[in-house]
Structures are given as C-alpha cells and as structure tokens.
Chains A and B, each alone.
Chain A
C-alpha cells in the first residue's frame, strides 16, 4: 500500500485496474461459457456449482501432481463432465432447465466441498505469472501488470468464440439452433448435438474459470472462494447481449467494480463496501429494466430463449 501512498489517487486507480484484471478472470470464463450455452438456446444456471468444482479439482490435482497446468486441464475436464450431465438432463422431455441448473449448484458445490475437505494444504503449486511490467520501477504499477496466463487465454477464447460464431459453419449452425430449432432441424442440422456440445464446452470454460480461483494469488481452497461469481454468469451474458467480445468487456467492468470495494477500503472509505460489491447486480437489473419492454424483445437474444415466458 506504500505505492498507493506515493502515487496518491493515481495509486488507487492503478490498484483498481490491477484488481479489475485479476477479478475479471472468473467472470470472463463463466460469461463466455454461459454465452456459448445460451447461443444454443439453453440456460445453464448451475455455473456456480461448476465453478466451485473447477476450483476444487484444480487445487487438488495441482497439489497432488505438482503441476498447476495439469490442475487446469483437470478443472476443464470436470467442468465439461458437469456440462454433459446438465445437457443430458435438460435434453430429456419435460425437464425444466432452471430447476436442473439449481440442482447442479447443489450437486457441484456438495461434491466440491466433500472432496475439498481433504485438501487442507495451504497452497497448491500456482500457475506462473506473465510479467508485462518488467522494468517499471513503481511497485504498484508493476504489481498491476503481473498478469495471469488465464487472462491472456480468456481474451483469446473470447476472440475465438466471436470468430466461431461469425465465420465458421459450426457457429452459424449453432446460432440457427438457438434461434429457430425447428427451422434448423428441417435443414438437417443436429439440434441436440449442437446444444449438448455447446453446454459441455461452456461448462468446461467455467471449470477453467474455477481453476483461476485456486491456482492464482492467494491460491488457497476454501468453501467461500467463489463468492457467488458463477451465479453472475447469466446476468453478465444479458448485460453483454450475447456477444463474446462484449462478455469480455462486461467481465472487466464487473471485475473493476468488485476491485473498487477493497480499493476504497484501503483508501479509508469503507462505508458502503457491501453495497458497492452489489453494484454490478444493481446495474444489471437497472439496465435490464431500461432495455426490455413488453412488446420488444432484447436485441441479440437467441430466439428460443426469448420465446419462453
């Protein structure tokens, strides 16, 4: 905090920027995962359970194998398995995906807490840090520029997803499936397969997001580690109007808002810490109220999501 002192208000800004980059990473992955899922016409409300499962798996595998990268892969794999389970259940006739999502939260967090109990190791091997600020003398700025590789990967995934939606056959088919499943079926597109694949990959991304929670500073496993970030996925995607690039921007914004709380506290303003933490939710709600209307559907919403009550 000495650096903040030496830089004054600028120090706070740097701290916020650094916090925004760090704090945005889980949001980036859950929102991109949710975006992919919703493009196919399904909602995954269970991202919280998958995020926790990813966090625990990454920690456990990293701790046992000594390789954080193996932990990362395991988190993605387990996330994908959960996605496959959810997709399989919601493809059954008559199953409500809101209820199935909440069941996934309970199941995922239950399994994560169950197996997590054994991992009392204070810290598992961490992912390396990419240092973009080498040679910068100011410690605060330098700290803010020490970036997790998952941040870089997240940006790459966002652009890749954007490319996939706009420029590949698979992306075009997926958008058609989410927009008009019957029409897609009549064109011979395998609707179910697309939805299952999208949900599975989306959940695998959330698993990676979870690994950031335990494989990056402070890098410990605890049951309260996600702080409900997985539940925000759905709201983020709405905020971003179903665009991967806007998901990226929205995640940075929400990460920044989250970083604002501790920064303000470190600057001695702590009166509205919790309200500040909740401000992204409030902001999303206000934006939704402003942009929705009874006669107009949200721009960019996949048709099969818009058509249910």
Chain B
C-alpha cells in the first residue's frame, strides 16, 4: 500500500507534466512554431545558465511567499485567494513605513518596512479568515473582493496623498533612497527577498510538522469539530494562520517595493498573488513542495521574454503554457488511487529483479 502511494507520488506528476508538454507542443505546432525549440528555449531561459538561474530565483521568491499565503490558512481549513490584495497593501504599507524612516539608518528603515508589510498583509488575510470563522462569510469570496479593494486603495493613494509630483505619466510614491533599499546577495543579482522566501518555506514546514502549534493548526484544518471537542481555541488558530499567511504575501509586497521598484505604484500588482494560489494548490498546501514548485514556475515565468526574442511569440505564450500545465496537474488529482493497472504492469518486473538479486 505504501509502495503504491510512493509509485503514485511519482507517476501522477509525471503523467500530468507529460500531458501538459504534449498539449503545449500541439499548441506550438498549431501556431507554426517548433515545439522542441520553444520548450528548449523555456528550459534555457529558466535553467540554462547561471544568469538564467538568477532570473528564475528572482521570480521564485515572491511565488514562495505568495504560495504560503494560501497554504498556511488552508492547512487550518480556510481557503483564501486574497494573496494579490495582501501583496499590494503590504507593499503600500512598506513604502509608507520606509518613506517615514528614511532619516534613520538603512537597517532600521528596512526593519520598519518588513514589519509594516507583514503586519498589514497579515491583517488583510486575517480579516477574511476571521469573517469566515465568526460570521460565516465564505473566505474565497471575501478575499477575492479584498483583492479589488486593496488594488483600489493602492491606486487611490499613489495618485493622491502619497503621490510624488515628479511621477508624471506613471503615478507612484516618492522613491526610497538607494541606500535604504533591499540589497543583493553578494556576487549575484538576487536580492534578499529570496532568503525571505526560502526561510519562510522552511520555517513553515518546521512549524507545521515539528511543533505543537502546527499540530493544532492541522487538527483545526482537518476537522473543526474534533478540534473544538478537545478544547482547541479554533478562532485563535484560524486567525493566526490567516495572519501568518497574509504576512507572507505582505512581505512579498514589501520585497517588490524595497528591492525591485524602490517605490510603490500600480506596477507592484504584477499577478504574483494569483499565481501563488495555484502554487499552493499544486503543492497540496505543503511548504516544502512550495519551495520546489515556485522554483519551476519562476523559471517558466522568466522565460516569457525570451520566447519573443527567439521565436517571435508573444509573452502570453508562457501564460498558455502555465494554463495548460495547471489544468493538467489539477485534472491529474483524479488519478489518485486509480493507477492500479500500471502498478500491476510494473510489479512483476520489479519482483523478478529483486529475486534475481537474491
């Protein structure tokens, strides 16, 4: 039974990714591009060189944080899709905190941004989680609405009270001085946001799998009635999980402001939040898998521009690839427990091999 599960754990993703590659190849052939060439370009642009790796890692960082934003509350039983909103308000709050502390030393300024991004992003998702727990408002829907409210808030503030009068055609806040922006890991182009992402995933795994608090969270998510039965403070657990998830998304927003743009503007809402939801589902809400899935997706995202250069395909090609991959991977969930015929095919061979060795 365990060996069957292991077998499925490998076979299902392989089948899903194979299907996605096949469908995408057909799509490429259909629009007159060479499937092999396009896939090779995606690979090269994602993992082909140290330069490509850095590109992929840069894009993986926000995905890790945004994946956790859905995964942590989901482990406690609340599905939220408010990553984009939390990302944006986190970035906005970080910009405000950063601009308020530019007179201080850089480290203090960054700490203020870190805190502001995490706390505001955390509060954002905590609100959706709390509304579901205390008022029965479906968190998928409320957090979806909060995305729009968050983006409107960003636009309103960068075009109004927080606007830098010099940002003419593209309204934005005042820029942070370069000295107060989030720096790069020495010897690379990769900013410290990647460290935040990796540490958050590892910490998330540790919390969930190795601590008392993580077990409480998983009990609450696994069966709320049983959690209440054994006296766990369900409301507090749900709120905390929502807060931690939102804090990750807010932190991603802070990184976007502090390391990429140096200021807040509409440009920080680049859709990482939405992709993060899928990262979480594809990773089955597990932090360690999020680490891997984010890296792969980061590479795919990084290759968008290169397809235009090398194959004269629009950057949206990569969205088509993503869409096909997501749909095949989601559909492949249905294969769980249904691969018996394949194991039957493989088993006799493996026993023979085992016998031969004996």
Contacts and interface: CB of A to CB of B under 8 A. Distances in A.
A binds B: yes
Contact of B141 (A110, A117, A238): A238
A97 B152 CA distance: 27
Given A95-B330, A110-B316, A289-B137, A271 B145 contact: no
A29 to B, nearest CB: 19
Interface in B128-161: 131-132, 134-138, 140-142, 144-149, 151-153, 155-156, 159-160
Contacts of A193: none
B324 A235 contact: no
A198 interface: no
B277 A102 contact: yes
Nearest to B221: A309
Contacts of B326: 99, 102-103, 106-107
Interface of B is mostly: helix
A92 B131 contact: no
Size category of the A interface is 35 or more
Interface string B314-333: 10111111111011001101
Contacts of B146: 285
Size category of the B interface is 35 or more
Contacts of A273: 156, 159
Interface in A103-132: 103-114, 116-117
Contact of A285 (B78, B142, B153, B322): B142
Interface in A220-259: 228, 231-232, 234-235, 238
A273 B141 CA distance: 24
Interface in B1-47: 31
Contact of B149 (A96, A111, A231, A281): A281
Contacts of A96: 281, 330, 333
Given A95-B333, A109-B319, A282-B149, A292 B274 contact: no
A238 B144 CA distance: 13
Interface centre among B135, B145, B330, B336 (most CB of A within 10 A): B145
B89 interface: no
A103 B323 CA distance: 6
A169 interface: no
B137 A281 contact: no
B229 interface: no
B115 interface: no
Contacts of A135: none
Given A95-B331, A103-B326, A231 B131 contact: no
Interface in A188-222: none
A273 B334 CA distance: 46
Interface centre among B138, B275, B317 (most CB of A within 10 A): B138
A272 B151 CA distance: 14
B335 to A, nearest CB: 9
Contact of B334 (A45, A92, A109, A117): A92
A234 B149 contact: no
A288 B149 CA distance: 15
A297 B136 contact: yes
A277 interface: yes
A172 interface: no
Contact of A288 (B141, B147, B331): B141
A115 B334 CA distance: 31
Contact of A110 (B77, B277, B323): B323
A136 interface: no
Nearest to A92: B334
A110 to B, nearest CB: 3
A113 B228 CA distance: 48
A39 to B, nearest CB: 17
A1 interface: no
B280 to A, nearest CB: 8
Contacts of A99: 277-278, 281, 326, 330
Contacts of B151: 278
Given A100-B330, A272-B156, A278 B81 contact: no
Contacts of B277: 98-99, 102
Interface centre among B131, B313, B320 (most CB of A within 10 A): B320
Contact of A113 (B131, B140, B148, B316): B316
* Nearest 8 CB-CB pairings of A with B: A107-B323, A110-B319, A278-B152, A113-B316, A92-B334, A103-B326, A99-B281, A274-B156
Interface of B: 31, 77-79, 81, 131-132, 134-138, 140-142, 144-149, 151-153, 155-156, 159-160, 224, 274-275, 277-278, 281, 313-314, 316-324, 326-327, 330-331, 333-334, 336
20 contacts: A43-B140, A45-B144, A93-B334, A94-B336, A95-B330, A99-B281, A100-B330, A102-B277, A102-B326, A103-B330, A104-B327, A110-B319, A111-B323, A114-B313, A114-B314, A278-B152, A278-B153, A281-B148, A288-B142, A294-B136
Given A93-B334, A289-B135, 13 more contacts: A45-B144, A95-B333, A99-B281, A103-B330, A104-B327, A108-B323, A110-B320, A112-B316, A231-B144, A231-B148, A234-B141, A278-B152, A309-B78
